[in-house]
Amino acid sequence: MLARRHQVALALTVVLGAAAACQADRRPESPPGHAAPAAARGFTLVASGDVLPHTSVLDRAQFDAGGTGHDFRPMLDGVRPVVSGADLALCHLDAVVGTETTPTGTPASTGTPALTAPPPLADALAATGYDGCSTASDHSLDAGPDGVRRTLDALDGAGVRHAGTAHTAAEAATVTLLRAGPAKVAHLAYTYDTGGLPLPEGQPWAVGLIDENRVLGDARLARQRGADVVVVSLHWGTAWQDAPDDRQLGLARTLTASRTDGRPDIDLVLGTHAHVPQAYEKVNGTWVVYGLGDQVAGQTTNTAGALDPRGNQSTVARFTFAPPAEEGGRWQVRRAEFLPQLFDVDAGRVVDLNKALAQGAGVQGVRDRIRDVVLSRGAAKDGLVMGE
């Protein structure tokens, strides 16, 4: 069994090496197959799941850096072509940034019990092609307000925008607007909880908590400030549950039903936290991804205390938006796709399962399981397809 596992890991590593060798050095002006005249061109948006820097992930990044410091870029090479090929790419950082080393020279970012990553993780996200990252999660306060500050400073230094946590009250009141081709996209982010830790005294704005009235108010504000498309990232759901829970379903219905002057207030909902891929669904005409799964994570145990391979499975969501037919209209999703992924814990690499399968790796069962979960709420009838 162990020998077969390492054979699969070796096959996946070969696939990753081939993919990395073919990747582009810069993001194209228009992704292949999506080019159009500037006046009518839409845009592609991709979003991926939780980045969880467990101890084994940190060990791998240290190995990839040659034993000194950390280099997370190689582990993300497998997703780079997809990310860098989009007009806008969003990630989810389910951890806070610490320091590279302690004063004694020993690693300060251990990955447990609090999830803390060294600053090079932010640089790797930027090098992969991510434009922005949601930072609101149940780990946002693992290192207190200093952890929030270090995380945002690291992302700012790497040129990665962020939503969900804030340095100041003024920053919390500012809408994160990103450019996606010809469109302005607002990115809002919130979490169901902060892991039982109280918000910092005098800083209730440090982490955005899920409240439907606040989310909708922020979405309307984003529209007033020029957003063509409003994307909401929600850290929610029941851990290790394939199906969205009742709170997810209810909140999705409420958020997608809200309209101002006949136009939906929210154009896309992206979910994280459950540690497993969950369904995609079109609700009230708006796409909802209940759970993207964990893009990067070590081997993890579920609520029953058993090692659960689903914790290393995820999807990348890719939505292609078309411009409105008339000024002030809604940007419509003209193509909805999901790409199944696996984090190979032996190789320490993100793997595109479609590419791995085409190269002969024995991953069809994993890919098909992810596909079945993603389509479990009937998204195929609304046009969701598995992308290449």
Query: What's the sign of the alpha-carbon dihedral 43, 378, 295, 238?
Result: positive
The secondary structure of residue 330, as a DSSP letter, is P
- Dist CA 60 CA 299 (whole Å): 13
pLDDT the model gives residue 114: 60
Q: What are the residues facing 317 on neighbouring strands?
A: 47, 338
User: What single-letter amino acid sits at 273?
Assistant: H
Q: Which residues contact 270 (CB under 8 A, 6 or more apart)?
A: 47, 90, 92, 134, 231, 232, 233, 234, 289, 292, 317
E strand residue ranges, the chain? 43-51, 88-93, 96-97, 116-117, 132-134, 161-163, 176-180, 183-191, 229-235, 259-260, 263-264, 268-272, 280-283, 286-289, 294-296, 313-322, 332-344, 349-352, 384-386
pLDDT the model gives residue 9: 43
Q: Which domains does the chain have, with CATH numbers?
A: 44-386 (3.60.21)
**148, 141 contact by CB (below 8 A):** yes
- Dist CA 6 CA 56 (whole Å): 17
DSSP state letters, 166-223 = -SSHHHHTS-EEEEETTEEEEEEEEES--TTPPPPTT-TTSBPBP-HHHHHHHHHHHH
- Dist CA 259 CA 139 (whole Å): 32
**27, 84 contact by CB (below 8 A):** yes
pLDDT the model gives residue 116: 87
**284, 253 contact by CB (below 8 A):** yes
The CA-based dihedral angle spanning residues 94, 96, 102, 105, taken in that order and rounded to the nearest 10 degrees: 40
pLDDT the model gives residue 32: 40
**335, 289 contact by CB (below 8 A):** no
Give pLDDT < 70 ranges for the chain: 1-40, 100-114
Mean per-residue pLDDT over the chain, rounded: 89
Longest Cα–Cα distance of the chain, Å, equals: 62
- Dist CA 7 CA 5 (whole Å): 5
